[in-house]
Amino acid sequence: MASKLTGGDLQIITRIAVFRGLQAETVAHMIAPATVVGVRAREPIVRQDEPATAFFIVIDGWIKLSRNNLAGDEAVIEIMSKGGSFAEAAALTGGRYLATAEAVSDARVARIPADHLVRCIRHNPDISIPMIASICQHMHYLVQRVEQLKAQSGVQRLAEFLAALALDQQGACALVLPYDKTLIAGELGLTPESLSRAFAKLRSIGVTVDASQVAVRDVARLRKLAADGRSAVRGTLQVVR
């Protein structure tokens, strides 16, 4: 069910890359027709190849972006949370959605109509600059993902995922997996069986998992393994160049 934006919603929306550097009045005009849509876990927000009628900003919860091939196999592109945005490019071009967006958990997303966005840009072309910057950020993320899948081992990808969850914690820490392991496996380009093996290999550096609970004996060792994986990615790129 759609509802109006709250004050808290506005704080989240106005901080994202799409609106960065714009005057407050400009942002207010851009989001004037926005509505907030509540979705349940596993409920689709948009489907791949549907006409693009809006772009979206995640207010809370987790959203999965994925594509399916003709055989029905799913490729997870990204899992995003509060402050993430998607479908900007499709909304701008009047094309079709490149991916399916589905709620991983109960979530709320702001919906901004595509036709309104285009009218705003025609009236004030400066709006397109942060919009293009946001699209470039998505492109940069996808390039990093391809690099990661090509050059890092499954263990290194998992280490980087867990290190990101640890944020700035030091020493020993306890983590909670934000969503189920099958989805994590898809995000990391692994099968569920490969993910289980990767967790088993991380035991050698003091990482143990029990359901959604992960215990890390030394975050520094986990970060080092993740950093080694990033170095492998950079080394591969240098060889290619």
* Positions of CATH 2.60.120.10 in the chain: 2-143
Contacts 24+ apart (CB under 8 A), 4-13: 4/35, 4/36, 5/31, 5/34, 5/35, 5/36, 5/110, 6/36, 9/36, 9/59, 9/108, 9/110, 12/57, 12/59, 12/82, 12/83, 13/57, 13/59, 13/110
What is the reported pLDDT for 19?
87
Residue whose pair of structure tokens reads 């919906």 in the numeric block: 111
Residue 18: both structure tokens together: 């799409």
Q: 155-213: per-residue pLDDT in tens?
A: 999 999 999 999 889 999 999 999 999 999 999 999 999 999 999 999 999 999 999 99
- For the residues 117-121, what does the mean pLDDT come to? 92
User: How does the average pLDDT of the chain come out, rounded?
Assistant: 89
pLDDT of 64 over the 70 cut: yes
89-101 burial, b for 16+ CB within 10 Å, e for fewer?
bbbbeeeebbbbb
**pTM reported for the whole predicted model:** 0.83
Topology of the domain comprising 152-240: Arc Repressor Mutant, subunit A (1.10.10)
Domain 2-143 matching CATH 2.60.120.10: the answer reads: yes
Compute the radius of gyration of the chain from its Cα atoms: 19
* Positions of CATH 1.10.10.10 in the chain: 152-240
Q: How many whole angstroms separate alpha carbon 25 and alpha carbon 99?
A: 32
pLDDT bracket for residue 238 (50, 70, 90): very low
